[in-house]
Structure 1
Amino acid sequence: MILGRRSSRLPRTIRALLPGSPYATAELADGRWAVVTGAELLVASEEGVTQRHPWHTVERGRWDGETRTVTVTWVDGSRSPLELRTASDEVASFAAALRERVQASVVHSDAAETATGAQIKVYIRRDETGALLSQVTVTGTLRGDGEETRVVDEVERRARAAVGLPT
């Protein structure tokens, strides 16, 4: 399900820069706009689109009403979270659309636990081109031994096989 498209306040100059109609927008405190599209989260200004984040790279978005900040974290954890300070606290449709697009990129998931209690999760996600890929995340600490490697490989193999990807 795609949420209602609410972007009536988005300036025409910025709308003209977008690759299609936005699902939802949020004006940022610095005058830029955060835009939810079908393929990615964009940050745009009058000068152009300054950031593009395909949904399969986004782990989650979190709204903090006290600071009026949407914090976006990344699946690979390799970079700092994106913090988007909004111009107002009227971001319910934006936050809902962001969550819906992240969830829509997940096709299948599987999980396992290692002997030491580390949680292994494998997500099969669709990228912006429509291709499927697998992502492995770990909560906890891995020792890196052969048994843990076997658990990680097995849960990824199961997840990939469930959607017809090569294992």
Structure 2
Amino acid sequence: MSLRKSKIPAELKPLLPRGGRNCVPLYFADQDLWLFADPSGLIRRDGELTRWEWHEVQQIGWDRDTDTLSVSWPDPGKAPLLLKNPDSAMLKAFGDYARIYLQKSQIYTQFSTLPSGTKVRIAVRAKADGSRFSEVVAFGALAPGDLSALSSLESQVRDMAGLPA
């Protein structure tokens, strides 16, 4: 896989980590917007620079039918970032590297159903500095009887990943 460094405009390189040397770009001409997959995080440039470390990103998806790239977050209540019409020549390299970087932040994930029927995702994630933390996402309302089960599930996941319970 090539990092396709030559596609990053010279005026953006000073704004990027290490001058953009490890950034894989993706351009959205309709919006004059750039996304960069960098080992340290996902970077958005559209007039201003916004950066998310990989542990702050849940998933990056591509919908070929609508020509839309989506970035979803661990908080299911936070609307996904939806970007249309990326430069198709840059899409594969960006997707390949973004997937690698994102997967490095996801140590372990377990899906479960609580006594009330609410589904949850419990994950152990890694930050760029190597520290690890657990992340609990509920896909619905929690009932009072769910809290004990959820605490037990999180402790099990943390233990499996070598974190204190």
Q: Which residue number corresponds to residue 159 of structure 2? A: 161
Q: TM-score, normalised by structure 1?
A: 0.83
Deviating 4+ runs (over 6 angstroms): none
Instruction: Classify the secondary structure of the residue corresponding to 2:60.
Output: strand
| Distance in 1 separating the partners of 2:78 and 2:144 | 27
Q: Does 1:54 align with 2:53?
A: yes
Structure 1 residue 143 displacement after superposition: 4.3
Q: Which residue number corresponds to residue 7 of structure 2? A: 9
Instruction: Classify the secondary structure of the residue corresponding to 1:12.
Output: coil
Task: Please tell me the root mean square deviation across aligned C-alpha atoms, in Å.
Answer: 2.1
List gaps (5 residues or longer) in structure 2: none
CA contact 1:65–1:89 (8 Å) conserved in 2: no
Instruction: Classify the secondary structure of the residue corresponding to 2:70.
Output: strand
| Distance in 2 separating the partners of 1:70 and 1:130 | 28
Worse-superposed segment, 29-38 or 62-71: 62-71
- The total of aligned residue pairs comes to 161
Percent identity reads: 24
Structure with the largest fraction of helix? 2
The residue correspondences of 1:1-167 to structure 2 (distance < 5 A) are 4-20=2-18, 21-29=21-29, 30-44=31-45, 50-90=49-89, 91-139=91-139, 141-146=140-145, 148-167=146-165
Worse-superposed segment, 114-123 or 101-110: 114-123
Q: TM-score, normalised by structure 2?
A: 0.84
| Distance in 1 separating the partners of 2:39 and 2:142 | 39
Q: Describe the shift of the 1:165–1:87 C-alpha distance in structure 2 as closer, same or farther (beyond 3 A).
A: closer
Worse-superposed segment, 52-61 or 74-83: 74-83
Q: Describe the shift of the 1:11–1:77 C-alpha distance in structure 2 as closer, same or farther (beyond 3 A).
A: same
List gaps (5 residues or longer) in structure 1: none
CA contact 2:25–2:35 (8 Å) conserved in 1: yes
Instruction: Classify the secondary structure of the residue corresponding to 2:112.
Output: strand
Structure 1 residue 154 displacement after superposition: 1.0
